[in-house]
Amino acid sequence: MTTTQLVSNTLSSEATKWAMDKYKAVDARNHDAYAAFLADDCKLQFGNNPVVAGEAAMLAGVDNFWYSIHGLNHNFINMLGNDDLMVLEAMIDYTRADDKIVTVPCVTIIERNQAGEATFIRIFIDLAPVFA
């Protein structure tokens, strides 16, 4: 996870730290660390797939995706919003199963509850190059 390409960040220092810690867990493909950022009733919209509801279902889907690749690294460009609603733009370097690295743009919208847990995550990305 990097911020060397960061152009704009309107998040509070707390929200920025939360996002950075969340994506460190994602890029490490650390199931338990990632789960700590999710509300029990969290929902996930990944690309054009149906919305997945509930932490267990979300984590199962995320784990399956993580197993299909050899790695990933988020390079943030813009971090916009506030403590309750953030929009994160990144270029993501995916290490495919054949160890070729492909970079794809992504925008993620995250809603959080009063406890600071993600309640709805919407990821807008085209993963076709990752599996081409």
**Residue 56: CB atoms within 10 Å:** 12
Q: Look at residue 62 in the predicted model and tell me its pLDDT.
A: 93
Percent of the chain with pLDDT over 70: 100
8-131: CATH number: 3.10.450.50
Q: Look at residue 2 in the predicted model and tell me its pLDDT.
A: 92
Mean pLDDT within 30-50: 95
Q: Look at residue 37 in the predicted model and tell me its pLDDT.
A: 98
Q: Is the pTM of this model over 0.85?
A: yes
Q: Look at residue 76 in the predicted model and tell me its pLDDT.
A: 98
Mean pLDDT within 38-57: 94
Mean pLDDT within 73-82: 98
Q: For residue 76, how many C-alpha atoms fall within 13 Å in the half-sphere facing its CB?
A: 23
Q: Look at residue 84 in the predicted model and tell me its pLDDT.
A: 96
Helix (H, G, I), strand (E, B) or coil at 94: strand
Alpha helices, H only, 1-132: 13-27, 31-35, 55-67, 128-131
Helix (H, G, I), strand (E, B) or coil at 74: strand
Q: Compute the distance between CA of residue 103 and CA of residue 91 in angstroms, rounded to an integer.
A: 6
Q: Look at residue 26 in the predicted model and tell me its pLDDT.
A: 98
